[in-house]
Amino acid sequence: MKFLDEAKVFIRSGDGGAGAVSFRREKFVEFGGPDGGDGGRGGDVWVEAVNGLNTLIDYRFQQHYKAGTGIHGMGRNRTGANGASVTLKVPVGTQIFEEDNETLIIDMVTEGQRFRLAAGGNGGFGNAYFKSSTNQAPDWANPGLPGQEKTIWLRLKLIADAGLVGLPNAGKSTFLATVTRARPKIANYPFTTLHPNLGVATIDGREFILADIPGLIDGAHEGVGLGDRFLGHVERTRVLLHLVSAQEENVGQAYKTVKHELNAYGGGLEDKPEIVALSQIDVLDQAEIKKKAKELQKACGKPPLLLSAAAHMGMTEALRALRDVIVESAGETALPDRSQHPAENADTDEDDA
């Protein structure tokens, strides 16, 4: 299944049914009077956040959604049936924007959340509604009100607790594949990761969601490489794990390049808690590791973690560091008891969108 995080959709709610003009005509009933029923209400257009989705690919193949029209009223005081409503099912974390793609309508951040995007038109009153002591034979009825129509944008921002950022080939996908059961594509060339991946990691009995996005390069905020279009998927995270490959000749510059792109993007990423790690240390000897760790510390202002996903070195420490920030930001006071909850990998909802 392809990953799609933005879609343009046209929606239209149903028109209301017209009221009926009818008079009761029965044998031996001299003054039957009006008996025209009301029209049915048009269907609504709803949006609902559901579990099990992490892409908007369904809206690539269908861009028009129209609710049912209300049925007209009929004689014998019969009210028309309401039109069928339509529900757009979207992943949790989807934002709905007006046609200008800037005005936010609703942010679907919780599973089961529903919102009415377009209300159906009310049905018209039949002539029986207008009967009174002074007007006992009205010969008119109301037409149904028209529905609403608009074009909207759906924009997905994945819900994750922690995000992985770094240059291409910094080891982000390998880290994700090692600590979760997600299976992102891994290869030794830039931009192997072309779209975000999610995985669920477990450490000391505590689960949290990791998001891996395509690598950033210098000028990404101006559209260079894959640009910064996927940075929105780490806007909601509570902490960033910034991986800098030990294979970089200048690890300090590599860190500053990505940090500059995060700051240029904005969206709160510049102020988000960050854990810096020197990755892929299995390819260097101890002297080189120590040297590059000092260079990276000078650039980021704090001692970096040392890890290698391929060799399973430093992974537990990195996961615990992420967990501590997540727990703190959630306002929790107690950490899980490690003796009762051994660390284990957890499954992800979906390997790949």
Residue-wise pLDDT for 245-295, tens only, equals 999 999 999 999 999 989 988 888 888 999 999 999 998 889 999 999 999
Q: Does residue 319 form part of some domain?
A: yes
User: Within this chain, do residues 134 and 172 fall inside the same structural domain, yes or no?
Assistant: no
Element (H, E) at 107: strand 104-108
Buried-state track 252-287, b at ≥16 Cβ within 10 A, e below 16: bebbebbbbbbeebeeebeebebbbbbbbbeebeee
Residues marked as binding?
166-173, 191-195, 212-215, 279-282, 308-310
Burial of 294 (0-12, 13-18, 19+ CB in 10 A): middle
Q: Does residue 1 form part of some domain?
A: no
| Whole-number CA gyration radius for the chain | 29
Q: Does residue 105 form part of some domain?
A: yes
Q: Map tokens 């060799």 to a residue.
A: 311
Task: Flag whether pLDDT at 348 surpasses 50.
Answer: no
Distances 183 to 162, 175, 259, 349 between C-alpha atoms, Å:
17, 11, 27, 11
Task: Flag whether pLDDT at 349 surpasses 80.
Answer: no
User: Residue 327: its pLDDT value, please?
Assistant: 92
Q: Does residue 343 form part of some domain?
A: no
Count the Cβ atoms, other than its own, within 10 Å of residue 145. Answer: 19
User: Within this chain, do residues 185 and 322 fall inside the same structural domain, yes or no?
Assistant: yes
User: Residue 227: its pLDDT value, please?
Assistant: 64
What domain range is 141 assigned to? 6-156
Which span out of 33-42, 187-196, 342-351 was modeled with the highest average pLDDT?
Answer: 33-42
| Cβ atoms 227, 216 nearer than 8 A | no
User: Within this chain, do residues 95 and 171 fall inside the same structural domain, yes or no?
Assistant: no
Q: Does residue 352 form part of some domain?
A: no
Model confidence pTM above 0.85: no
Instruction: Give the chain's mean pLDDT.
Output: 87
Strand partners, 199: 210
- Residue 31's pLDDT band, with cuts at 50, 70 and 90, is confident
User: Within this chain, do residues 318 and 185 fall inside the same structural domain, yes or no?
Assistant: yes
- Residue 13's pLDDT band, with cuts at 50, 70 and 90, is very high
Residues marked as binding for GTP?
166-173, 191-195, 212-215, 279-282, 308-310
DSSP 8-state secondary structure symbol assigned to residue 38: P
What whole-number distance in Å separates Cα of residue 94 and Cα of residue 350? 17
The domain that holds 112 is classified in CATH as 2.70.210.12
What whole-number distance in Å separates Cα of residue 351 and Cα of residue 195? 12
User: Residue 97: its pLDDT value, please?
Assistant: 97
Taking residues 334-338, report their average pLDDT.
41
User: Within this chain, do residues 42 and 76 fall inside the same structural domain, yes or no?
Assistant: yes
The domain that holds 197 is classified in CATH as 3.40.50.300
Q: Does residue 218 form part of some domain?
A: yes
User: Within this chain, do residues 16 and 151 fall inside the same structural domain, yes or no?
Assistant: yes
Q: Does residue 337 form part of some domain?
A: no
Which of residues 156, 179, 214 is at a domain's end? 156
| Cβ atoms 114, 48 nearer than 8 A | yes
User: Residue 341: its pLDDT value, please?
Assistant: 36
The domain total for the chain is 2
User: Within this chain, do residues 135 and 175 fall inside the same structural domain, yes or no?
Assistant: no
State the greatest distance between any 2 C-alpha atoms of the chain, in Å, as a whole number. 110
pLDDT in tens, 184-218: 777 665 666 777 888 899 999 899 999 888 888 88
Task: Flag whether pLDDT at 29 surpasses 80.
Answer: no
What whole-number distance in Å separates Cα of residue 109 and Cα of residue 272? 19
User: Within this chain, do residues 167 and 313 fall inside the same structural domain, yes or no?
Assistant: yes
Which of residues 121, 156, 191 is at a domain's end? 156
Count the Cβ atoms, other than its own, within 10 Å of residue 337. Answer: 9
User: Residue 337: its pLDDT value, please?
Assistant: 40
Q: Map tokens 């509604």 to a residue.
A: 129
User: Within this chain, do residues 128 and 171 fall inside the same structural domain, yes or no?
Assistant: no
Taking residues 2-28, report their average pLDDT.
91
Residues marked as binding for Mg(2+)?
173, 193
User: Within this chain, do residues 145 and 64 fall inside the same structural domain, yes or no?
Assistant: yes
User: Within this chain, do residues 19 and 116 fall inside the same structural domain, yes or no?
Assistant: yes
User: Residue 336: its pLDDT value, please?
Assistant: 43
User: Within this chain, do residues 185 and 135 fall inside the same structural domain, yes or no?
Assistant: no
Q: Does residue 311 form part of some domain?
A: yes
